[in-house]
Structure 1
Amino acid sequence: MAQLAQSITPVDAVVSRMRALDATLPERDGVAVFNRVYLAVTEEVDRHLDAGAFPDPEAAITLDVRFAERYLKVAEQGCPPACWRPLLQFRRHPGVRPLQFALAGINAHIGHDLALAVVDACRTLGCEPADLEDEFDRVGDLLISMEERIREDLMPGPDLLQIADPLTHLLGSWSLERARDATWSAARALWALRGLPDLAEEFGDRLDAAVGFAGRMLLTPLPD
């Protein structure tokens, strides 16, 4: 593959930016909840890179950084795409649970940003999406392995869970694995449409809106 462009930020620098956000955001803020989850995932990816777990580290770093930069642009600069607006709108709502914030952020980032990050990485590296499939799958597997831990850390205890039936219903309505599969299809479609910018933009806008709608459902305020 082509040499990594000098403008690509190292994963360590991305981690530093997420840690800086963590230090400035209120603990209960919805973006802060997601940021802590994403920071843990990115640190895990970094450890796997250091351990040589990725066959093509250049491709893995490029995809990981392009992916993270889309979230960091929202968190640091504002002007979010539609998929992020529900989380920003409800980030301080007292009726939204921490787990809902985490899943809404994951939904926006996986459902929309990851597809665009695959296209970004392909352009940077001069490759096809198929050349990044192993890296895509490995990062996705890390996310899925951490999802159960995220749910355990942020889920109410057994007694509260029986009372919070609406939360249980919401959790069952969204799947990270299904979202990842749909994102890979969307990334391939966007790449295939790269020579048709009007269609590519329309497809991207519809993807953005659909992911935003799912995020709004995940953030439905619940009774205590």
Structure 2
Amino acid sequence: MTEPVWGPVQADMVDLLAEHPADVPAVVDHLTRLQDLLVQLPPLLDSCPLADFNRLYLTITTSVLEGLYTDRFVDPAFLSRLDVEFAARYFDALRLWSDGNPATPNAWACLFERMCGPDARPLPSAAAGVNAHINFDLPFALVTTFAHLESEPVDSSDQHRDYLEINKIFAEKIPELRRGYLERWQLLIDMLNGNIDDWYQGELVGYTRDVAWRNAQRIWRCRHDPHRHERERKRLDDAAAALGRLLLSPLGALLQ
């Protein structure tokens, strides 16, 4: 008999993934409940690589929700819809993996495979999840969002400015998040480095999200052509998977 993918929390995970969050508060609730389950997964428990990413994702999404409550964004309808579409791709990948479906994106499979060991260091694990979610999921989530709103990805539009505002949220949260993945001796080195690591990683996130926007524009132009659309999907999945495997390799451990 095949061992359940989610071990002792299989039933709870299946129930959770059967739901589809319809707004940003529901996404935050979903991610919170998912985190509670991921830290129970044997054999790694609270060292689960996916939990390392999910914790970061939960922190950023909670900050987006706070921004919606405080009128931080010019077009909250756009940001809300994008947040839901973005999360849906993550949950869809988890659902496919849970079902043993070979259609699970390779960008995510390389991280999901590490849930049962061998252990991966926290910072590379979180980075691998960010890689899959931004480099692969985000362009398609943008396209779906713009199609739903009957708009399009235009540079310097209100939607684009709100999209760039998320970079500022990352910059605000990166220092605390990154230090949360470090051991005591690493924190000492980090202190000696000053703000260099925080600045560099903030710049990297901004660059990566800009590439995702450009890829969304490229996919938007071929959205009615199934063959070109599939080529773009495969291209982005393969590229993100290659980077994800590198991040989770011994070489990637140099990140931490």
Classify the TM-score, shorter chain: 0.7 to 0.9
1:189 matched to which residue of 2? 218
AA in 1 matched with 2:234: D
Structure 1 residue runs without a partner (length 5+): 1-6, 163-167
Q: Distance between the aligned counterparts of 2:176 and 2:117, measured in 1?
A: 24
1:98-124 deviations in whole A, cap 9, x for unaligned?
111111001110111111110010111
Q: Distance between the aligned counterparts of 1:160 and 1:12, measured in 2?
A: 33
Residue 76 (structure 1) shift: 4.3
Contact between 1:104 and 1:218, CA under 8 Å: does it hold in 2? yes
AA in 2 matched with 1:87: L
2:87 matched to which residue of 1? 68
| Partner-residue secondary structure (3-state), 1:175 | helix
Q: Distance between the aligned counterparts of 1:124 and 1:71, measured in 2?
A: 19
1:1-224 superposed matches below 5 A: 9-26=22-39, 27-78=46-97, 79=101, 80-130=104-154, 131=157, 132-158=159-185, 175-221=204-250, 222=253
AA in 2 matched with 1:150: L
AA in 2 matched with 1:145: E
1:45-68 deviations in whole A, cap 9, x for unaligned?
000000011111111100111111
| Partner-residue secondary structure (3-state), 2:223 | coil
Q: Distance between the aligned counterparts of 1:159 and 1:66, measured in 2?
A: 36
Greater shift in the superposed pair: 93-102 or 47-56: 93-102
Contact between 2:85 and 2:144, CA under 8 Å: does it hold in 1? yes
1:123-170 deviations in whole A, cap 9, x for unaligned?
1100011253122211233123322322211123345887xxxxx9xx
Contact between 2:132 and 2:241, CA under 8 Å: does it hold in 1? yes
AA in 2 matched with 1:18: L
Residue 75 (structure 1) shift: 2.9
Sort the Cα spacing of 1:55 and 1:200 in 2 relative to 1 into closer, same or farther, 3 A. Answer: same
Residue 74 (structure 1) shift: 2.2
| Partner-residue secondary structure (3-state), 1:189 | helix
Greater shift in the superposed pair: 190-199 or 111-120: 190-199
Contact between 1:91 and 1:101, CA under 8 Å: does it hold in 2? no
Q: Distance between the aligned counterparts of 1:192 and 1:135, measured in 2?
A: 22
AA in 1 matched with 2:110: P
Q: Distance between the aligned counterparts of 1:145 and 1:112, measured in 2?
A: 24
Structure having greater relative contact order (Cα 8 Å, sep ≥ 6): 1
Contact between 1:129 and 1:188, CA under 8 Å: does it hold in 2? yes
Percent sequence identity is 31
TM norm structure 2? 0.74
1:173-204 deviations in whole A, cap 9, x for unaligned?
x9322211211110110001113221121011
Residue 77 (structure 1) shift: 4.5
Root mean square deviation, CA, Å? 2.5
AA in 1 matched with 2:179: E
Contact between 1:67 and 1:114, CA under 8 Å: does it hold in 2? yes
Q: Distance between the aligned counterparts of 1:30 and 1:95, measured in 2?
A: 7
